[in-house]
Structure 1
Amino acid sequence: MRISEFRNAQAADRFRTAYDHALAALWPGPRTPIDAPTAHGLTRVLRTGTAGGRPVVLLPASGGNALMWHHQLPELAAHHQVFAIDPIGEPGASVQRAPIADGADAAAWLEDVLAALDLTDVHLVGCSYGGWVALQHRLHHPGRVGAMTLLDPAGFNGFGVRFYAWLIAGGLAASAPRALRPRLARAVANSAVLEDELMKLTRAAMGFRRALPVPPVLTDEELRRIDLPAQFLLGARSALHDSAEVAARIGRVLPTARVEVVPGAGHSLPMDEPALVAERIVRFGD
């Protein structure tokens, strides 16, 4: 089994420079970096916010890190202590030392992080791949999470041609002249292409070899074991799955869950509807 890593020292240095620049440009207010030891490597966590209430733990989408939440951080930090994670295996400030082969490994890694931070009764928020990791953690290590918000989570459908076409279209849109990007962002339902600093970081991560498992589709039996307060925010224009079908399935299998299909939004919900996402997280976690 391989681990995620940069191709060479030069690629790692380029990314670190871009990461430090993006961190300085995007992070709102003070932060405390924490390096949490785990069986799979050292995990960088950025802590911010005010103590009180249920702590919020943020897991980004595939290829992302703590910085993808920069729009939501001011609102979240005003109400809660926030822990934004650079996941093992993704381009960020964490360093992977052992492979993650499946959902059980991903769940064990997250359990190690929460234990190192001495966190219980957290509000776990996961976007896309991070949503799948959050679900896996609940299946394998119930106990530390008191509530869960999942933004267009993976694990409800395979990664089909439509999703990969969306990724390619987003990359092309991000490379277009600045004046054209808003129109292209609407056309491809991906506001991430308007995030200049994050796009620079994405380009700097081209030298990163990601070696994480592809999420299998969750069974109804697995979903029924998500026995805690949970809300699902789905982009109506998501390229990952048919959101109406996913919403109907969640409503059937998890009738106590809160499900919202966000009109006009795509798969990149934190960028497509930044204020709505922050408000829903704060309201649900209180």
Structure 2
Amino acid sequence: MRISEFKNGKAEARYRTAYERALTELWRGPRTPLDVPTGFGTTRVYRTGRTEGTPIVLLPGSGGNALMWHRYLDALAARHPVIAVDTVGEPGASVQSAPVRNGRDAAAWLEELLTALDLPSAHLVGCSYGGWIALNHRIHHPGRTATLTLVDPAGLADPGRRFYTWLITGGLAALAPRPLRPRLARLVRNSAILETELMALIRASMGFRRRLPLATTLTDEELGRIDAPALFLLGEHSALHDAPAVAARLHRLAPAARVDLVPGTGHALPTDDPATVTAGILTMADRPAG
């Protein structure tokens, strides 16, 4: 298998410039960047927040990086250490050096990262593809997860044609003149296109060749092994899956997990309802140890 990379030096330089601009614009508070070597490549993370306690580790969705969490950082960092991750193989400041072939490899990458950061325990938060990675990590490396917060995670059902249609229409809407975007965002149920800086960063990533595996659907046996304290936040109208059916599956297979259908939201749940997502993350991270 091949690895994710820019198609040429010009495309990489264009993206790096856009990334630094977005980082400066969206993350104005304190942060400490770290480049962490793993067997899958060098992973960029940003530390912020309190210095004591179990950290919240933020994993972005497909095509994103640590900056997708920019609206959440102040609230989370006020109460906990926070580590925001540029997932290896996604467009960001991480550099992939070996292929990620499946969920087991993705889990191995995350385990190496947490080990290198000397984190015996972490509150894992994953959105969409990042949620799939967090779930795989819990399945294959169960000792390090304090809690899980999964924000409309992938891997709970096979995405159908509706999801790919949603991706395409959202991408087209993001190219529309800015005054038209609020109306289009409502029409296609994708509030993420209103994130002007992030949309500019996504456009700059067009020269990036993403070669990560599809988020395969977790089996009943795998979901039954999710025994850490877990919160699943599902967009009521998610294009990724039939959220009520997924909720019923989770209630059956992981009865100890909390499963919330968030009214009026879709797969762009982090921008549809950031208050509910923030509250959910903090509810899990504030749980007493043990």
Question: Cα offset for 1:252?
Answer: 1.1
1:172 to 2:172 alignment: yes
Name the structure 2 match of 1:281: 281
Three-state SS of the structure 2 residue aligned to 1:29 is: coil
Which residue of the partner structure matches residue 84 of structure 2? 84
Structure 1 position 54, deviation (Å): 2.3
The superposition leaves residues 136-166 of structure 1 with CA deviations (integer Å, 9 ceiling, x where unpaired) of 1111111111100001111112232111110
Note the 1:1-286 alignment, pairs <5 A.
1-286=1-286
Moved more, 72-81 or 158-167: 158-167
Alpha carbons 1:124, 1:148 under 8 Å: kept: yes
Deviation at 1:81, TM superposition (A): 0.5
TM-score by length of 1: 0.98
Quote how far apart the aligned CAs of 1:266 are.
Answer: 0.9
Query: In terms of mean alpha carbon deviation, does 168-177 or 67-76 score higher?
Result: 168-177
Give distance in 2, aligned partners of 1:167 and 1:84.
24
Which stretch shifts more, 124-133 or 150-159? Answer: 150-159
Give the total of aligned pairs: 286
Give the deviation of 1:53 after TM superposition. Answer: 3.2
Does the 8 A contact of 1:52 with 1:79 survive in 2?
A: no
Q: CA deviation at 1:271?
A: 1.1
CA distance in 2, matches of 1:212, 1:158: 17
SS at match of 1:15: helix
* Contact 1:28/1:74, CA 8 A, preserved across alignment: no
Contact 1:236–1:262, Cα closer than 8 Å, also in 2 = yes
RMSD: 0.9
Q: Secondary structure at the match of 1:126?
A: strand
Contact 1:89 1:210 in 2 (8 A): yes
Give, in angstroms, the shift of residue 78 of structure 1.
0.6
| Letter aligned with residue 214 of structure 1 | L
Q: If the length of structure 2 is used for normalisation, what is the TM-score?
A: 0.97
Cα pair 2:227 2:256 within 8 Å, conserved = no
Letter in 1 for 2:220: D
What one-letter code is carried by the residue in structure 1 that aligns with 2:19? Y
SS, match of residue 79 in structure 1: coil
The percentage of counterpart residues that share the same residue type is: 65
The runs of 5 or more residues in structure 2 that have no matched partner are none
User: Would you say the 8 A contact 1:146–1:228 is kept in 2?
Assistant: yes
The alpha-carbon deviation at position 178 of structure 1 amounts to 1.7
Describe the SS at the equivalent of 2:78: helix
Structure 1: gaps spanning 5 or more residues:
none
- Would you identify which runs of 4 or more consecutive aligned residues in structure 1 move more than 4 Å? none
Tell me the secondary structure at the aligned position of residue 34 of structure 1: strand
How much has 1:82 moved relative to structure 2? Answer: 0.3
Letter in 1 for 2:6: F
